[in-house]
Structure 1
């Protein structure tokens, strides 16, 4: 599958995911919107970006997906949850940056370079069909301390698939991640945020915890660098998980936006890191 085909299918399926979220009400999908202008791309090595308003606590918060019942606890096994994990382990002003759909050799290396420049770790939820062709990037992610998660093999809408197909999508990706990075993935994220009972159950069977997001940059719509930066700035708060993308289309805006908002987050006192695995 070409990367352009990947993006076309992503946009087509997003409409289906939105319909699922509408039907599910407060138990559905999550989209956070922001606004802002589009400045010229920042210049690496310049004296510094212009001042913006201070980052403040976010009004964007995920709601419980399918209820508040505790997960089924089974000794020695990953709990089967009824909603994705929403909070970040850690103390103080901790945030997590996540990147979906990659890796893509056109954009992922630049994102990794920026993270390395600021000594920051992030989470990459990779698609197996992309990872299989870019194993060196998964190896680099692991070597540099990032977390490699599972985003299925081909980025389908899981709510339309059989259990056996969901299992294949997850397991094949687990195998590629393990082969390339040396570790079986311990986290997974449903494409489009379209979770269902089968996804939670099968993810747990494969030893993975589900992680959602708090702030959606909607960078895949290429809204402009400034808009992406503003969405992160407006949503910044302790415990926030930011969703961005490093593949699936032209992600140059995502690359430039990270170079802008990451130092701002650090200057504002945020500890940008990866979450510890949680258990029931």
Structure 2
């Protein structure tokens, strides 16, 4: 009996208690508080309720506030019109299980089934699949960190016992005002039907919330959706990294400089580099590029490395992933003509080079520049590339860890290559040259006439 009790204690500790403590104290794999000067997030659990949720939506509309609703599937199924109204009025809808039951008392398969069922209800009603999840009572088990797929777990930084009617309006309002500042994630309830809650408690919450919204407006605080607070927090952290993050970045960039020196990496623009490169043999399998050039083993390639300091600065100051992409596109548009001119002026450097070559997880869109994009053949090199580039992104990219969690299936390193023929044809503007397809030699024809000439490919 003692043996069974001891093993039961161990299982309960590692399955339930430790994951809960780690997530609450250290924020491991959860979002519970943001970093923002002028934005906070209102979140509401346990609804929708046919009495109080419409009143809450009216109140949020009155103060132009947005919120995040973590709904129970059993009530969402009964009141799809409330889900639709939440969605239409610009709020975010997340998952709070199908029934209000702690994950400690359910097997991982049962938790996953409850989440999927609620997710299907939300998507069927609104046309949008939810991406945020709050477990009942904020309690996670060991498998929740890896068993939730694309979902982001959301906890809170302020909870006020608003599900108890005896707390009263005044005490509830005072408690809420202690968290009336930027970055906070406030937990409230728009339904009092769960175990331990009072049916009429949301009425007190609505009165206290209106007073809170008035004061937040006076303080120029904006109530935003949880996704907006996450983005604001990412921008804040990008502009104000912790000392540990700054130290790690400095070490990594110093390592990169050492790598460039050790392997003789070059760049076309020392003061404002985009690419660093070196000439080396190609060791992969034969590769047919989109322009018909075949890259064979031991052919000479110009290996490209994106400047990681530039990548960090782009991500640090960009306000969205789209801005990062746009700035990288602009940097590449500037760098490729510089590279074509650099090589055309140095025929001794590119005399045996057949193609540009690189491996990157940033591979959506290079085709528009003339690159061929292919999957890396499975093997040790592919595995090492994936591990290295994921580590690099988590360190250098300001939003790297979040991107790795949310876009894991998309962030796979791929091979990108462009023949020198295509490089000179598309980006060479200041020299005439010929390309010997038999020897793969780049031959400079007329170095003195460098203005307004269109290169010819033979």
- Partner of 2:213 in structure 1? 262
Alignment of 1:131-280 (within 5 A): 131-203=76-148, 205=149, 207-222=150-165, 223-247=167-191, 248=193, 249-250=199-200, 251-276=202-227, 279-280=402-403
* Alignment TM-score, normalising by the size of structure 1: 0.70
Per-residue CA deviation, residues 39-78 of structure 1 (Å, 9 max, x unaligned), is xxxxxxxxxxxxxxxxxxxxxxx6315xxxxxxxxxxxxx
Distance 1:153 1:93 in 2: 34
Residue aligned with 2:43, SS: strand
Structure 1 pair 107/255, CA: closer, same or farther in 2 (3 Å)? same
Q: Which structure has the bigger radius of gyration?
A: 2
SS in 2 for 1:95: strand
| Counterpart Cα distance in 2 of 1:221 and 1:115 | 22
1:84 counterpart residue number: 30
Q: Is the 8 A contact 2:19 2:140 kept in 1?
A: no
Deviation at 1:92, TM superposition (A): 2.3
Higher helix share: 2
Partner of 2:242: none
Moved over 4 A (4+): 23-27
Q: Using the TM superposition, give the Cα deviation of residue 275 of structure 1 relative to its aligned residue in structure 2, in angstroms.
A: 2.8
1:135 Cα deviation after fit: 0.3
TM-score calculated relative to the size of structure 2? 0.43
CA distance in 1, matches of 2:19, 2:175: 22
Count of residue correspondences: 210
Gaps of 5+ in 2: 1-11, 194-198, 232-401, 404-458
RMSD over equivalenced CA pairs, Å = 2.3
Cα separation, 1, equivalents of 2:153 and 2:85: 23
Residue 94 of structure 1 deviates from its aligned partner by 1.1
* Residue equivalent to 2:447: none
Greater RCO, 1 or 2 (C-alpha within 8 Å, sep 6+):
1
Residue 25 of structure 2 is aligned to residue 63 of structure 1: yes
Counterpart Cα distance in 2 of 1:191 and 1:104: 17
| C-alpha contact (below 8 Å) 2:71/2:94 kept by paired residues | yes
